[in-house]
Amino acid sequence: MALQTLPKDKDLPRALTCPITLCIMREPVMDANGITFEREAIEAALREKPGISPFTNARYPDGDARLTPNRIVLDLISEFQLEKGKQREQGATPGEKAKRERTQAQARTSLAHARLK
């Protein structure tokens, strides 16, 4: 599973990125300390240092990270990606939106002229 690397997006909430990979999470899981990670990244870190938090570098209680899916963060990521997709469709900048509107107006004008002929 490839991690999705993000463009430098100042609007990206830190809560949606893994503290290990610094990428948006695809399968967020919460550890015993309440920290959310990308599952693949924390599992790799735990293979290197079993029972040690990659965030605090301290031993987990009972040495068990107790990874559980973080469905709330997953829902937030889905909402964020949907909103970003809508913004891209609408044009990220006023200039892009104006260009798209001009192109649409030209297409309508061309269509109207073609119908008159």
DSSP 25-73: -SSEEE-TTS-EEEHHHHHHHHHHSTTB-TTT-SBPGGG----EE-HHH
In a domain, 49, yes or no: yes
Structural domain that includes position 21 = 14-116
In a domain, 72, yes or no: yes
In a domain, 7, yes or no: no
Of residues 106 and 66, more confidence is placed in 66
In a domain, 80, yes or no: yes
* pTM of the predicted protein model: 0.66
In a domain, 42, yes or no: yes
User: Is pLDDT of 2 > 70?
Assistant: no
In a domain, 4, yes or no: no
What is the number of structural domains in the chain? 1
* DSSP 3-state of 81: helix
pLDDT in tens, 25-39: 999 999 999 999 999
Of residues 6 and 25, more confidence is placed in 25
Give the CATH number for residue 58: 3.30.40.10
In a domain, 48, yes or no: yes
Q: Which helix (H) or strand (E) holds 30?
A: strand 28-30
Q: Which amino acid is at 88?
A: R
Mean pLDDT along residues 13-31 = 95
pLDDT in tens, 80-112: 999 888 777 665 566 766 666 666 666 666 555
Query: CB–CB of 55/88 below 8 Å?
Result: no
In a domain, 9, yes or no: no
